[in-house]
Structure 1
Amino acid sequence: MRLSRTAAFVLQASLILLFLAGSSAPSPLYAVYQSAWGFSPIMITIIFGTYALAVLATLLVAGSLSDYTGRRPVLLVATLLQVITMAIFATAHGVGALLVGRVVQGISVGMAGGAVGAGMIDIDREKGTLANSALPPLGTATGGLLAGLLAQYLPAPTVLVYVVLGVVFVGQLVALLFMPESISPQPGALASLRPRIGLPPNLRRPTLLVAPALVGAWALAGFYLSLGPTLARRLLGSHSLALGGLVVFVLAASGSITVMLTRLRPAASLVTFGAAGLIVGVGLTLLAMASMSSVVFFLGATIAGMGFGAAFQGSMRMVLPLAAPHERAGVLSVLYVIAYLAMGLPAVLAGIGVVYGGGVIATAREYGMGVMALSSLALVGTLARRRSVSTVAAPAKS
């Protein structure tokens, strides 16, 4: 028995959704781990950065592997690694276990990122491109909120969410056994494992154009996923674990909703809108830190999330549709390399700033100004490109 094309698409969509949910699930729980094991904010961002580094390294080595072996074998291994990750997290009794779990999880997400994204595009180019933009932030929102609520209101806060996700991953692993392959295997699988990063010539300029927007958006995501819950509790004077999950949910859910609502807009205009949204949203967040206003803080997170969703979707749609079938996983991996490098490195630097700089508020202020600067660069670049395209097109109409 084989799954239909529609069922295969839904299965792969569920993979990307729940893989990202699993990656954000630890975020609201860092306060619990920190209280139990007594580590500093630097260690929180190192744990988070370890995950991003593992994703990055895997993308460089195996990001295009599914273009040669087919999508299904890569996804089977990646999903098995997710099951192992949940077992490590559920039984963790120290920082070392969290670091190991994050490495295994990063390898899993790095393997799956290009394979599942390309697999959905193999089945339906338009819906696959949309799913690649909408589902990562939706998964991030789901994992953060689920972990926060389970930890706040049910027993075993550092176990239950991982058991729930682990059971789901086992079900997905079984379903993958019945998923048909969407491309034919190609020679060169071993050669593709050589660490490298590259793009087809026709995709280099579009990728360079969207890079500042990608970097700004994912740097913001990295900060919210690592230190966002701590910042929210500090601003609101609360120790609620659910609050930490709510902050992640607001940012990511607004991004996912924006992707769905703007799916018919031109890609370049989405990058412009996204960059502007990041500038306004982060600016409001900085204002909230100055005024200690919870209303302004969540309004800023919502608008910043909208900017994240629009910038991410616009970037994907400007690049991915230009890739040939056996280039898709590799191209998608390059975009994720940019994203995860932007997400992981600044977050670790922010953790150092919290401990050795002026604390979480001062570090968040400096971080926010950096995101605004990158977003301004993306905004200027896309506006300049649109103006040049209009100038070239004008004589053709006369």
Structure 2
Amino acid sequence: MRTSRWPFVPRMVGFVGISTAMIMILVAAGSPTPLLPIYEHEWGFPSWMLTLAFGVYAIALLVAILVIGSLSDHVGRRPLMIGALALELIAMGMFVEAHSIGGLIAARIVQGIATGAASSTLSASVVELAPERHKKTGALMAGLAPLAGLGIGSLFAGIIAQTVANAAPVIWTVLIVVMALATVFAIFTPETSTRKKGALRSLIPSVSLPKQVRRLFFSTLPGTIGAFMTMALFLGLLPALLAGLFAVTSPIVGALAAFVMFGVGTLVSAATLGAKPHRLRILGAASMTVGAILFIAAIGAHALPLVWTAAVFGGAGLGANFSGTTRGLVPEVKPHERAALFSTIYLVAYLSMGVSAIIAGAFVAAIGATTMALLFGAVLGIFALIGIITTAGHLRASRA
């Protein structure tokens, strides 16, 4: 906990700073999206490796969540924050030095581990550093940060890639400076959690979910899967689809589509602070269903404008659903259970994102990009529809 001998920043300053750090972790995660087609052109690797480079990040993140997702509940938030941000700094350096697809994949793996270590810890810290009367705002920030960060990261990298000849070193050097500052800031951020026994045991991969939220959590699963498949679509698959199906090679196009999707999601999350969580999840799942249908229509009709429309509806659904999920679950658990809760949420989320992207990439060679895209949109829409049903069913059961 806080000591008088170390010059910690005030808790409100810590809340703002760690919220910013959490966003920047996701900015870095979104930055490779417009760069992947450039790497493919320069290094000459097959297109399915684009989705592999995207998917390994999510799988590495998942492994980190499984192993150290609950560690901060035992050793405190601050040591994990410092370590995760320092590891992210190392990953940015690896991106600068990457000159082959192997180096890029290695950097993505390290980045995934760093992001996984940061996800539950920073999310819990943001909630705990928030002023007592604004705990819901802290939970909202935990839900907004992934959306805002990934969207900003994609747009940031896309603009630089469009305007600078050798864009990749510029992007990663900027992020090196940002991560260095974030690491230093974390050193001066006050601790928000008391230590407890069981740190070594917590490293054994497991999924821990507080008993009082299990039924609610399972009702949110289909919507969460659909939401993060939407993320996989616009971050991992769309760059390859734009080049292969629409003959679009400009990096800013895919970056803008991702930014629109995440930007709309962020706005919806922020604008619906007063809405009931279950209504947000239902509306979010419905919007994702519409987005999936529009995406299928875009591929079938070869109509690029429909991709943008799908991004709007998909983003709105993603923002509403994920915000409704976090805002519904976080108030129901005790402070020392928050990191474990966020770990479980992110476990489902990033498993959905990484596995769906890798499977889709593997199927391109066998069935073609068009068929793969149509099937991906159909599966996404099915999960979103199931999300409506499970949320409505849980609501009826809780009122009975």
| Range class of TM-score, shorter chain | over 0.9
Question: 1:11: how far off?
Answer: 1.2
1:336-347 superposed matches below 5 A: 336-347=346-357
Whole-Å Cα distance in 1 between the matches of residues 263 and 318 of structure 2?
10
Pick aligned residue for 1:382 from 369, 391, 396: 391
Contact 2:242–2:249 (Cα < 8 Å) also in 1: no
Separation in 1 of the partners of 2:216 and 2:324?
11
Q: How does 1:1-398 map to 2 (within 5 A)?
A: 1-124=7-130, 125-234=135-244, 236-359=246-369, 361-390=370-399, 392=400
Which amino acid letter does the alignment assign opposite residue 16 of structure 2? Answer: V
Instruction: Extract unaligned runs of 5+ from structure 1.
Output: 393-398
Which residue identity is paired with 1:242? I
Question: Is contact 2:216-2:394 (8 Å) kept?
Answer: no
Percent identical pairs in the alignment equals 33
Q: Please say if residues 41 and 355 of structure 1, whose CA atoms lie closer than 8 Å, have aligned partners that are also in contact.
A: no
Per the TM alignment, residue 233 of structure 1 is displaced from its structure 2 partner at its CA by 4.1
For each residue in 1:87-113, what CA deviation from the matched residue of structure 2 results, as whole angstroms up to 9, or x when unmatched?
110111111111111111111111111
1:234 to partner: Cα distance: 4.6
**Displacement of 1:378:** 0.7
TM-superposed deviation, 1:385:
2.9
Q: Aligned residue for 1:396? A: none
Greater mean alpha carbon deviation, residues 61-70 or residues 316-325? 316-325
- Residues 224 and 248, structure 1, Cα contact 8 Å, conserved in 2: yes
Alignment check: 8 A CA contact 1:122 1:182 kept = yes
Aligned match of 1:395: none
For residue 87 of structure 1, what is the amino acid of its counterpart? Answer: G
Deviations, residues 169-207 of structure 1 (Å, cap 9, x unaligned): 111111112111112222221121111112121121111
- Checking the alignment, whether the CA contact within 8 Å between 2:136 and 2:327 is kept in structure 1 is no
C-alpha RMSD of the superposition: 1.3
Deviations 1:200-236 (A, max 9, x none): 2112111101011001110121122111122234555
Cα distance in structure 2, aligned partners of 1:87 and 1:22 = 12
CA drift at 1:292: 2.4
Kindly state the Cα deviation for residue 46 of structure 1 after the two structures are TM-superposed. 1.4
Question: Using the alignment, how far apart are the partners of 1:232 and 1:289 within structure 2?
Answer: 10
Question: In the aligned structure 2, how far is the partner of 1:254 from the partner of 1:309?
Answer: 7
Aligned to 2:4: none
Structure 1, 40-49 or 139-148: larger mean CA deviation: 40-49
**Separation in 1, partners of 2:293, 2:13:** 42
Mapped to 1, the partners of 2:63 and 2:9 lie a distance apart of 32
Q: 1:387 offset after TM fit, Å?
A: 3.6
**Match of 2:315, as an amino acid?**
G
Give me the whole-angstrom Cα distance separating, in 2, the residues matched to 1:4 and 1:20. 24
State the distance in 1 between where 2:34 and 2:224 align: 24
The gaps in structure 2 that reach 5 residues or longer are 1-6
Corresponding residue pairs, total: 390
- The question of whether the paired residues in 1 share the 8 Å contact of 2:37 and 2:50 is answered with no
Residue pair 2:277, 2:323 contacting (<8 A) in 1 also = yes
Rounded to whole Å, the distance in 2 between the matches of 1:34 and 1:96 is 12
Give the secondary structure class of the aligned counterpart of 1:221: helix
| More displaced 10-residue stretch of structure 1: 231-240 or 162-171 | 231-240
Residues 217-263 of structure 1, C-alpha deviations (whole Å, 9 max, x = no match):
10121122111122234555321111121111111111111100111
TM-score normalized by structure 1? Answer: 0.95
Alpha-carbon distance in structure 1 between the residues aligned to 2:308 and 2:244: 14
Render the CA deviation track for 1:126-177: whole Å, top value 9, x for unaligned.
1111001111110000110111110110132221111111101111111112
Shift of 1:298: 0.5
Give 4+ residue runs of structure 1 displaced > 6 Å after superposition.
none
Deviations 1:318-370 (A, max 9, x none): 212111111110110000000000000010011012222122x2211100000
- The answer to whether the 8 A contact 1:86-1:166 is kept is yes
SS at match of 1:227: helix
Cα distance in 2 for residues equivalent to 1:219 and 1:204: 22
